[in-house]
Amino acid sequence: MRDKWGRRFFVAGGIWLVLIGLVHALSLIQKQVPANDTERQLLELMTNYKFNLMGSMRSMGELLRGFSFAFMLAALGMGAVDVAVSRERDELLKRVALVNVIWLAAMIAVALRYFFVIPISFLAIAVILFVWAWFKLPARGAR
């Protein structure tokens, strides 16, 4: 009988990525409320001060929001791909799990430099699930 844990870890990783995307989407629907005058001034500048970015006038707030949407879509998209291919053959899942490990490791490297503990821990859980999936899924030709 084949070990089903690799496939289970893979599916759990895909679902976890979708959940990360959905949780991150919640942060995009709430408006930032400044706690003091300094934060109020900072948010005012981030929202209203626009600079020329290769012919397009953008604020720092718009750039941060765009990158935030991109992070959400990356998690949702990769999670959806993982769930969509989760019933395919083991060899394909093993390769997709490795792709997930590589991009999640890169995301963790960025997060360690620029983010805080919550996104780092969410990404770490995802990479652990896909590492376990990669180890547990059989290699080509193995049964």
Q: Is the pTM of this model over 0.85?
A: yes
Task: Answer whether residue 112 is part of any domain.
Answer: yes
How deeply is 3 buried, as exposed, middle or buried, from its count of CB atoms within 10 A (0-12, 13-18, 19+)?
exposed
Q: Is 48 a domain residue?
A: no
Contacts of residue 113, defined as CB under 8 A and 6 or more positions apart, other chains included, come to none
Range of the domain at 112: 5-33+66-136
Total number of domains in the chain: 1
> What is the pLDDT, as a whole number, of residue 84?
97
Single-letter amino acid, residue 79: G
- Residue 111 burial (CB < 10 Å; 0-12/13-18/19+)? buried
Residue 126 in any domain: the answer is yes
pLDDT digits (tens, 9 = 90+) for 40-79: 999 999 999 999 999 999 999 999 999 999 999 999 999 9
pLDDT at 136: 95
Residue 91 inside a domain? The answer is yes
Q: Within a domain: residue 19? A: yes
Residue 54 lies in a domain: no
